[in-house]
Amino acid sequence: MPPLDTSKQMLQQIGNYDVVTKLAEGGMGAVYKARNRTSGEVVAIKVLPPSTAKNPVLLKRFKQEFDAAHQLDHPNIVRAIEYCGTGASPFLVMEFVDGESLGQRIERDGALTEEESIRLLAQVCQGLHRAHKSRLIHRDVKPDNIMVTVDGIAKLTDLGLVKDADNELNLTRTGRGLGTPHFMAPEQFRNAKNADIRCDIYSLGATLYMMVTGEVPFGKVGPLDCWMKKIRNDYIPPRELNPNLTDRMDWAIRRAMSGDPEKRPSSCREFVEDLTGVTLRQPSSIKDAEPQAPTADIWYLVYKDETGETHTVKGTTDGIRRALKEQLLGDASNIRACRTKAGPFQILKEYPEFRDMVVEPAPMPPTNNAGTATATSNPTPPNSAAKVAGVSKVSGRFRPTLASKSNMKADAETVDLNQRPRTSSRERPIYVPMSPTNGSGEKPHFKMNAEGGIGNTIKVLLMMLLIASATAAIAALLLPKIM
C-alpha cells in the first residue's frame, strides 16, 4: 500500500475505509473519522506518519496499543477493531466515540460536580480494573485519555504506553520514566519499567483532582520540580481549591496521590470504595454468602487489653466513627470489626466505612544507601477518654494490644457505644486520621503551629534571614567609605 500523506488536509481512503473528516493531529500522527465501505460502520483511524513508523520502538508501541485494546472487551475501554502495519504508514482502527475527551470538557466548562466526577471515574475504574485483571498497566491515565460520550459514558483510551506485567517487550529502558509528568506516580519517573497497579491508582487520583478542582495538580512546573513535589505530597489539597468537596472526597484523592505507594489503594475497587464509603466486595462463594448481613446499621468491634482479655463494643457506623475520632478505643490499627458478633473480624482498614480513620496519606519514605525505604515509628496516641460513661464498663483499660487478624471471638458482654453521652461540641466529619502531635483534626502535613517545633524552627530561620539582610545592608553602606 502506498504511503499515506498525513500532512494533507484530508485523505480520501485508508485501507477499506472512506475518510469522513480529520479529528485530531499530533506528534504521533493523525486521527480520522471514517466509514467502512463494506459494513458502513463509523470508526476512528489513527495513522502513523512514515517518519515515525521508521522508529522500531514506536512502531512496536503502536502495535502494542492495538493488542492491549483488542483483548480488553469492556464497555469502558475504547475497542480496537483492526491493525495494519505492512505499509509505510501503519494505521489502527478503533471504535468511534461520539463525544469529547474529559480534558476538553474540563478546559471548556471547568470543574465537574463531585457526584458527576465519582460517576465518571467509577466507570473508568471498571475498565482499568479489567486491564489490571489481565495483568496490563496503563501508565498514562489522564483526562485527555478518557473519552466521554454524549450519553455520559466514560471510556479509557490510548493504551500506547500499556505495560504487560508478564512481558515488557523491551519497550522501556530501565531507569527511564514514561507518561505525563503531572499525572504519573513519582516512582514512575525513576523507572516506568517497574510500574504497577499503584502507579495507575496515583494517576486516577491526579485525574480526579483535576476533575473536581479544574486545576492541573502541582501547577505549572517542570518535570524535575514536579517530581520533587510529588515525593513530598507538596500540592494544594483539593478541598482548599473547592471548599464544596466532602471530607471523604478530599481524603480519597490525597490518599491515592500519596508519595508512598504503600499508602495508596491497592486496586481500582478499593479506590472506588474510598470515594463512596461502601464495601464493593462480593462473597467468593455461596458458602461465604450464607450468613446474611443484618439489615440494621450495627457493627461489633473486638480488641484485647493489656492483660490479654478480649472485649467487645457495638454501635452504628456514625457511633463507631465518633468513638474512633475521640480515641476512646486506643490504637485503632489494632481493632477488629465485623457486622455480626460471631465474626470473622477484620482490621478497620478492610472496611471503607472506617478506612479514612486509620489510613493517612503519606509522602514517599526516605531511602537508605541501599535504595530501600527506611521504617519510621508511629507512637500510639495517649488515651485520655478512658472513663467515658457507657464505654468504661467493658474494661478500665482502653489501650488494646495487637490481636490476631481473623480468629478473635466476641466476649459475652457487649457495650453499646451509642448509649454513651454525646459531647456538646459540634461534630465535624473527619478526613485526616488523628496524629499524636495534632489532636485538632486538621491536616498535620500542612499545619504550621508557631507553638510547636516547626513554628519555632521557622521563627529562628526568619530571624537569621533578617539578621543576614541587615548585615548586608550595613556592609553596602560602609564599603564605599572604607574604599
**Active-site annotation, residues:** 140
Which residue type is seen at 119? R
DSSP-assigned letter for residue 446: G
Burial category of 50 from C-beta neighbours within 10 Å (exposed 0-12, middle 13-18, buried 19 and up)? middle
* Nearest Cα residue to 138 out of 186, 73, 185: 185
Helix then strand count (H, E) for the chain reads 14, 16
CA-based radius of gyration for the chain: 28
Residue found by looking up cell 499524636 in the block: 436
Burial category of 363 from C-beta neighbours within 10 Å (exposed 0-12, middle 13-18, buried 19 and up)? middle
d(CA 348, CA 74): 33
DSSP alpha helix (H) spans, 328-409: 352-358
Q: Is the dihedral of CA 165, 168, 174, 179 positive or negative?
A: negative
* Nearest Cα residue to 238 out of 251, 228, 225: 251
CB 139 within 8 A of CB 111: no
Helix (H) or strand (E) holding 315: strand 310-315
d(CA 93, CA 42): 10
CB 245 within 8 A of CB 239: yes
Which residue type is seen at 136? L
User: Phi and psi of 407, rounded to 5°?
Assistant: -100, 15
Q: What is the dihedral of CA 257, 263, 266, 271, to 10 degrees?
A: -50
| Cβ-Cβ contacts under 8 Å for 310 (sequence gap 6 or more) | 302, 303, 304, 403, 408, 409, 410, 411
Give the count of beta carbons closer than 10 Å to the beta carbon of residue 220: 8
Give the count of beta carbons closer than 10 Å to the beta carbon of residue 162: 21
* DSSP letters for 199-255: HHHHHHHHHHHHHHHSS-TT-S--HHHHHHHHHTT-S--HHHH-TTS-HHHHHHHHH
